[in-house]
A and B are shown apart, each in its own frame.
Chain A
Amino acid sequence: MKIDVLYFAWVRERIGEPRETVETSAATVMDLVDELKAREPRYELAFSDLKSLRVAVDQELTEFDAPLEGVREVAFFPPMTGG
């Protein structure tokens, strides 16, 4: 399946692009993270400390064990600093 993966703030800077479309068979967000980390060092660097990351699936905040079936968009970013 194809999933749009989005990156924001320093995650975007470490990956080097704001979004990409990924062909994956990952069952969960965590599986997707592992697939990406295995690709290139820049992913390894961006995902080195998952505690400092948040994830949204189809634009809703969720956890790393969230399933990816039927999902169109996954976004990774640091804790939000709005307001």
Chain B
Amino acid sequence: MRISVQSEDFDLADVLKGFGKQPNTGATVSFTGLVRDDTGTLDHMEIEHYPGMCDAAITKIAEEASARWALTDCLVIHRFGKLRPGDQIMMVATAARHRVEAFEAAEFLMDYLKSRAPFWKKEVTRDGADWVAAKDADEDALNRW
């Protein structure tokens, strides 16, 4: 299991090299989140985080996923700081015996990281700056697990 909270960018190919490589892994899934600009006005996004709590919160989520889907490997990278449209914000990767477990665990990780990992996004656009509000749908998504 690897957890990293960092300001630097990451290289997907490098990160996934050797990920989950063991005889009982039959499937790996990876997801990468990017900074999206829906309106064409976004200059950048500021991602604030709670350093002390981040590692513990993400580790707890990753441990739960690892146990529940018997993952053979699990990886979470989440960036903070100033990010521009198209930049990578975060990624998760899961390795399991079968693809269903790998996909489900990746979705679980994403759902929980969205509303239980201490990050806050502020969008800075041409027209001003505003904090991204959490959506009810994000909280509801946890209920399916």
Contact = CB atoms under 8 A, between A and B. Distances in A.
B131 A10 contact: yes
Interface string B35-72: 00000000000001010110011000000000000000
6 contacts: A8-B120, A56-B118, A80-B119, A81-B134, A82-B117, A83-B117
Interface string A54-82: 00100111000000000001010111111
A6 interface: yes
A22 B42 CA distance: 38
B132 interface: yes
A59 B110 CA distance: 21
Interface residues of B, number: 27
B75 interface: no
Contact of B120 (A56, A60, A77): A77
Chain A's interface size range is: 10 to 19
B91 to A, nearest CB: 10
Contacts of B33: 83
A9 interface: yes
Nearest to B132: A81
A contact patch SS: mixed
A8 B33 CA distance: 22
Contact of B78 (A10, A75, A77, A82): A82
B134 A78 contact: yes
Contact of B134 (A8, A12, A61, A80): A80
B30 interface: no
B122 interface: yes
Interface in B102-127: 110, 113-122
B52 A83 contact: no
Interface string A7-23: 01110100000000000
B118 A83 contact: no
A78 B120 contact: yes
A59 B119 CA distance: 13
